[in-house]
Chain A
């Protein structure tokens, strides 16, 4: 998949046609649009929550996925102790769905 989408509509259409039931990664432009329209919370706000649990942690990677009609963030955090944690957050409610060491 191309890193930089040129057309939001085209990609949305493609994903809907090819695999409506499967999870799909969203790109930064979609994330911006969803955050702007209030369908998901901004990543910054969600991270504030997660950093409350792991103070001093830095963001390694964040992916926004649409799973069964629900927007989820898969976040990798590098904690202050040097371990990497994989978190899954509900992008809308901010609810922590998963928190485990990566493997």
Chain B
């Protein structure tokens, strides 16, 4: 997996190495040029002094010792000369037994010549005329100290450059980290969104991320409105079909059908199928709400109102209670949960003798919802059958079996587990385990 950090770091490293290397080597080269040019004028001065020291005595042309620099006398001193006067070669005593070739070209020699004791000589040559004789003077100077200084400078620059590079890389690392921090914030917000603890992303402080956040928010709004629309459309369709269905059921009771009992029965069954299918689809449309942002069920807010409604419907003095931690929120759609609990509680109320109890717990692995009553309950052998898709234990009571089917649809869509057991209260206990991860 590629890393932005590494890519930027690599680009920085390469560009800095290239720029730094070129700059250091280039400036060293320029400095070397400048220094050689400066030394050239020194060497020319030397050559002219030597020319002045050439005098004619009675014994012939010779070099006057007093006017010659003493360093030309000391062996291997680092300063040397060669004088070619009319075919005769005079060597400085400092050269001693080292043989220095006389360059053929004039001016400063491009190449450094080898000297004694590992010296590198900068050589300058110039032709003159003196005492009527052609004179060629070459002056050489040891360039080693300068080369050594250059090496030291290179080492220093290398160390300094490496340190600087390290510092820059660290700074860059920090900069990238801090630049990417808002992305992590957005990720956390998206996670909160998924958990239903947030309905939109907050605008972040970085302008580069602003369009992304706005786009996501817009997408959320769009998704929500689309869902709302399709829900409404399905709801409207359901409602629109309910009345004709009811009319059809009434029509089936007419005397005209008595003569055709088989036909009536068949029509009744088909209509029941239509209604069942219709209600299931309506239930599914509500289930689609699961993907809706901000989907969560706040127990303390919703449950009391639900219980109030049920108390109103079953006005026979039932004792409806609920237990749950304060501030507990289920990470599932509010309407689905209301539908689920409504169905379960409605069932329980129908069968209960006096008490119905709802318990909502947040455990380590899962949320557990339990609806219990003190009614007759269901025989253990029949419980399995109740859970079968589409089966109804109380087929006479319209809507009851369907309620359980809807419950199972919702439970399935949550990835939760539905179990029926015997309640300590005496009746049925419906237990739903909603795994935290799946939610």
Q: Give chain A's interface residues, CB within 8 Å of chain B.
A: 2-4, 6, 27-29, 31-32, 34-36, 42-44, 47, 59-62
Contacts and interface: CB of A to CB of B under 8 A. Distances in A.
Contacts of B382: none
B116 A29 contact: no
A6 B96 contact: no
9 closest residue pairs by CB, A with B: A35-B97, A31-B97, A62-B75, A32-B97, A3-B65, A28-B93, A44-B116, A28-B96, A4-B63
A47 to B, nearest CB: 7
B398 to A, nearest CB: 113
Interface in B91-138: 91-93, 95-99, 116-117
Contacts of A28: 75, 91-93, 95-97
B76 A59 contact: yes
A61 B65 contact: no
B74 interface: yes
Given A3-B73, A62-B75, A44 B91 contact: no
A83 B314 CA distance: 120
Given A3-B73, A28-B91, A59-B76, A43 B65 contact: no
Given A4-B90, A44-B98, A59 B75 contact: yes
A35 B73 CA distance: 19
B62 A6 contact: yes
A27 to B, nearest CB: 7
Range, interface on chain B:
20 to 34
B89 to A, nearest CB: 9
Given A3-B63, A4-B62, A36-B99, 14 more contacts: A2-B62, A6-B88, A28-B93, A28-B95, A28-B97, A31-B96, A35-B97, A42-B98, A43-B96, A44-B117, A59-B74, A59-B117, A60-B74, A62-B75
Contacts of B92: 28
B102 to A, nearest CB: 14
B145 interface: no
A37 B98 CA distance: 13
Interface of B: 60, 62-63, 65, 68, 73-76, 88, 90-93, 95-99, 116-117
Contacts of A6: 60, 62, 88, 90
A3 B65 CA distance: 7
Contacts of A47: 76, 117
Given A28-B91, A47-B117, A2 B98 contact: no
B91 A32 contact: yes
A61 B99 CA distance: 19
Contact of A43 (B60, B68, B75): B75
Contacts of B65: 2-4
17 contacts: A2-B62, A3-B65, A4-B93, A27-B93, A28-B91, A32-B95, A32-B96, A32-B99, A42-B97, A43-B75, A44-B76, A44-B98, A44-B116, A44-B117, A47-B76, A59-B75, A60-B74
Contacts of B73: 3
B113 to A, nearest CB: 15
**Interface-central residue, B74, B90, B95, B97, by most chain A CB under 10 Å:** B97
A61 B76 CA distance: 9
Contacts of B88: 6
Contacts of A34: 97
A61 B75 contact: yes
A35 B93 CA distance: 15
B198 to A, nearest CB: 77
B428 to A, nearest CB: 103
Contacts of B75: 28, 43, 59, 61-62
A13 to B, nearest CB: 15
A74 B222 CA distance: 103
**Interface-central residue, A27, A28, A60, by most chain B CB under 10 Å:** A28
Nearest to B92: A28
A85 B117 CA distance: 19
Contacts of A59: 74-76, 117
A4 B68 CA distance: 11
Nearest to B91: A28
Contacts of A27: 93
Nearest to B75: A62
A72 to B, nearest CB: 14
